[in-house]
Amino acid sequence: MESLKSFQDVDVDIKRLSIGDYLVDRRFIFERKTLQDFSVSIVQGRLFTQAQNLAKYDCHPVMILEGTSKDIAEYGVSREAVQGAMITISITYGIPILRAKDGDETARLMIMTARQAVRIASGGIQRHGYHPKGKKARQLFILQGLPGIGRKRAELLIEKFGTIEAVVNAKSEDLASVYGMGDKTIEDIKNVLHEGTIPYL
């Protein structure tokens, strides 16, 4: 938390979240785990339940593992077990895992993630690799490039407005009628669509 506060252009609000540790840009939910905690979670069998709950969250879930391999030595968990758990979380639950050596690096990774997302949404970076098939899949993919829009909200927007064009041209009060679309999310979307690149973090 102190590491985040050290960035002058970052606003930090302390609130209790229903899941995860940090909500960044109203778009990414970060679960921060030290390697010790990660190892204990494997031994106690609660890691994958946590991952499943995180994957269901409407924002994009990200897990950050903090520490080095020597941090797990005393817990009797092998390197292979840790790697296997990381693969399961990444592949089965679709949660990207980032590695950080300490709290300062964790803070930098979260900020970098949010800033990269803004650049992608504003057209600064092309999203290579994943090419959705089918009209609806492409619509959802495009909408999820907007700030604060996960898959669930994208589906609700398409269900109400029918097309990407209609979403882009919708009035704020019409967007607000969609479940989960708050004033801040709508303002951020309007800024991205109509006012160029706006720093969100």
Can you read off the two tokens belonging to residue 6?
């050290």
Please write the tens of the pLDDT for every residue from 54-70.
Answer: 888 878 889 999 987 77
- For the chain, 201 residues long, give each residue's pLDDT as a single digit of tens: 555 555 545 566 677 878 888 888 778 899 999 988 999 999 899 999 999 988 888 788 899 999 877 777 777 788 888 889 999 998 888 899 999 888 888 888 888 888 777 666 555 445 555 556 677 888 888 888 787 788 888 889 999 999 988 888 899 999 999 988 888 888 878 877 765 443 433
Q: Are 158 and 143 in contact (CB under 8 A)?
A: yes
Domains of the chain: 2-118 (3.40.50.10130), 129-194 (1.10.150.20)
- Which residues, listed in sequence order, are joined to residue 64 by a DSSP beta bridge? 32, 98
**pTM (two decimals):** 0.57
How big is the CA angle at 132 (ends 126 and 138), to the nearest 5 degrees?
Answer: 80
Three-state DSSP at 27 gives coil
Side chain identity at residue 152, one-letter code = K
Alpha-carbon Rg for the chain, nearest whole angstrom, is 18
Can you read off the two tokens belonging to residue 102?
């300490």
Give one DSSP letter per residue of 132-170, joined into a string.
Answer: --SHHHHHHHHHTTSTT--HHHHHHHHHHH-SHHHHHH-
Residues 176-183: contacts with CB under 8 Å, at least 24 apart? 178/153, 180/58, 180/152, 180/153, 180/156, 181/153, 181/157
Q: Sign of dihedral through CA atoms 95, 98, 99, 102?
A: negative
